[in-house]
A and B are shown apart, each in its own frame.
Chain A
Amino acid sequence: MSEKVVLETPVLRKNDELAAQNRAWFAARRCTVLNLMSAPGAGKTTLLEKTLPRLAARRRCAVIEGDLQTDLDAARIRATGIAAHQINVNSCHLDARMIAEAALRLESESPDLLFIENIGNLVCPAAYDLGEHWRVTVFSAAEGADKPRKYPRMFHQSDAIVLNKIDLAPYCDVSLDELLESVRAVSPHAAVFPLSSRSGEGLEPWIEWVAAREVR
């Protein structure tokens, strides 16, 4: 005899519950959390290096870095004078449990703005809620205009899209209009920031957006 049992249980329920706990933990400490996601090499760390010094007067920042190997990124962040904790995991994404542990390591810094630099990957990190308040996808002009439509979930659920490396667009046979149109198609509600971390062009609106983020 067999019996059918209806469950309707979200597959990632355990992670979602932990993420909700993280969100409440951060909110109790008035710490606003941003989850930065992108493909490898889109420029998350360089964007942070350029962003953090310009926030220093207004916000107390800290960074959680996620990578498979090395603490190179955390070292780059610390060189800007900002506290950073490196997570090394053999995983294609960070999850809520890793963030709960990492957040404790940075608690003594009492950050009011915490950046999580996720593992470089346009697919998997999108599925895992970390307990962040804001999601940001960094997308570089060199990746090609088709990527938002090929990897829609991450773009679709982001509150902001940073279109980085716009200075490289002319060398990649892609126009800024094509890139923006592709982002807009799948992310109609997101704030979009075309910029170049390297040259500094377009950074100001992004800095202002980040500086105004609060717990929600």
Chain B
Amino acid sequence: MHETGIAAEILDIAEREAARRGAASIAAISIQVGDLSGVVAEALEFAFEALAAGTPAAGTRLNIQKIPVRARCPHCRSEVLPGHDLVLWCPDCGLPLDVIAGRELQVQSLELVEAQ
């Protein structure tokens, strides 16, 4: 539901960086979206297209890399992929797991078209 606001922030970050570097346009924006980020990738794509339409970003590709949740047991140090059930307990030790990936929501990189 808040994907429109998220898409606007992404565009803002990319456009500021492009302007700072004097780029002619932005060919692509790559972002990471963790499964625990609370952001739905499909809704974000839709919002991004809607916001970019009719602006210089209309032709910009949005590459979304989804990051699955990974967790580690603080005791046996084994790494667990909690999967769809998202049970964040160590199956061997019965201890709460530490989440080490899956919370990401960041602009990873840009592909800028250089001015002639």
Interface residues of A (CB under 8 A from B): 1-14, 91-93, 121, 123-124, 126-128, 149, 152-154, 156, 184-189
Interface residues of B (CB under 8 A from A): 1-2, 5-6, 9-10, 13, 17, 21, 23, 27, 31, 36-39, 85-89, 96-97, 99, 105-114
Contacts of B105 in A (CB 8 A): 10-12, 127
With A2-B27, A3-B111 known to touch, is A11 a contact of B9 (CB < 8 Å)? yes
Contacts of A153 in B (CB 8 A): 36-38
With A124-B1, A126-B38 known to touch, is A4 a contact of B9 (CB < 8 Å)? no
Contacts of B85 in A (CB 8 A): 149, 185
Contacts of B96 in A (CB 8 A): 188-189
**Least Cβ–Cβ distance between B64 and chain A, in angstroms:** 12
Checking A9, A14, A126, A189 against B107 with a beta-carbon cut-off of 8 angstroms, the contacting residue is A9
Grouping DSSP codes into helix (H, G, I), strand (E, B) and loop, the A interface class, with mixed when no group exceeds half, is mixed
Checking B23, B39, B87, B106 against A127 with a beta-carbon cut-off of 8 angstroms, the contacting residue is B39
Contacts of A13 in B (CB 8 A): 13
A1 to B, closest residue via Cβ: B114
CA distance A186 to B99 in the complex (A): 11
CA distance A156 to B89 in the complex (A): 12
Contacts of A5 in B (CB 8 A): 17, 21, 109-112
**Do A2 and B111 have beta carbons less than 8 Å apart?**
yes
**Do B110 and A124 have beta carbons less than 8 Å apart?**
no
**Do A93 and B2 have beta carbons less than 8 Å apart?**
yes
**Do A7 and B113 have beta carbons less than 8 Å apart?**
no
Checking B86, B108, B112 against A2 with a beta-carbon cut-off of 8 angstroms, the contacting residue is B112
Contacts of B111 in A (CB 8 A): 2-5
**Least Cβ–Cβ distance between B95 and chain A, in angstroms:** 8
Identify 14 new A-B residue pairs, CB closer than 8 A, beyond the known A93-B2, A127-B105: A2-B111, A2-B114, A4-B111, A7-B107, A9-B106, A9-B107, A12-B6, A14-B9, A91-B2, A123-B1, A126-B38, A127-B39, A156-B88, A189-B96
- Sample 6 A-B pairs with CB under 8 A, ordered by A number: A4-B112, A7-B108, A91-B5, A92-B2, A123-B1, A184-B89
Contacts of A126 in B (CB 8 A): 38
A6 to B, closest residue via Cβ: B109
With A2-B27, A11-B107 known to touch, is A185 a contact of B112 (CB < 8 Å)? no
Q: Which 3 A-B pairs have the closest CB atoms?
A: A188-B96, A124-B2, A153-B38
CA distance A93 to B87 in the complex (A): 27
Contacts of A9 in B (CB 8 A): 13, 106-107
With A93-B2, A124-B1 known to touch, is A8 a contact of B108 (CB < 8 Å)? yes
